[in-house]
Amino acid sequence: MRFASWLLSLAVVVLSVSTALSDDKVADETIAYNRDVRPILADNCFACHGPDSASRKADLRLDRREAAVDSGAITPGKPAESEVIRRIMTDNADELMPPATSHKKLSAAQKDMLTRWIAAGAEYQPHWSFIAPRAARCPR
């Protein structure tokens, strides 16, 4: 009888933890530019396609939404039509981004994140230092 009671208690704890984790997972499925996308672009793209005009390649800026969209690099809501996605997914070494000479390579998870971000509308956020802090939500 004690074992059955212990097993039932364990099942309740496991169910409670898994429910809490799945709720957190749903909340985290929203892609946030500053949290999820900016780090990928900053580490792999901004050296050549960022704010420094002296090192910018192909006259392409990916750090500003308007410039990225106007150039066709990003087509919000349509990753298949976005040059960025074509370039990070290609097998052609001459077109692959980031190029081999950069010694950088996107992981499958990073490529998936960029694809999902563009599919979701490719929303940018201002740098975190320009966003007013908000009070944290208290769990219920």
- Give the pLDDT confidence of 56-75 residue by residue, as tens digits: 999 999 999 999 999 999 99
For residue 87, which of 67, 69, 72 has the smallest C-alpha distance?
Answer: 72
Tokens standing for 134?
Answer: 């908000």
Mean pLDDT of all residues belonging to the chain: 85
CA distances from 29 to 1, 21, 32, 36 (A): 42, 12, 9, 10
Is the model's pLDDT at 23 over the cut of 50?
no
User: What pLDDT, on the 0 to 100 scale, is given for residue 20?
Assistant: 46
User: What pLDDT, on the 0 to 100 scale, is given for residue 15?
Assistant: 46
CA distance 55 to 15: 53
Q: How confident is the model at residue 106 (pLDDT cuts 50, 70, 90)?
A: very high
Is the model's pLDDT at 40 over the cut of 90?
yes
Is the model's pLDDT at 9 over the cut of 80?
no
> What are the residue boundaries of the structural domains of the chain, listed by start?
32-130
For residue 102, which of 89, 114, 93 has the smallest C-alpha distance?
Answer: 93
CA distance 10 to 43: 43
User: What pLDDT, on the 0 to 100 scale, is given for residue 51?
Assistant: 94
CA distance 7 to 26: 28
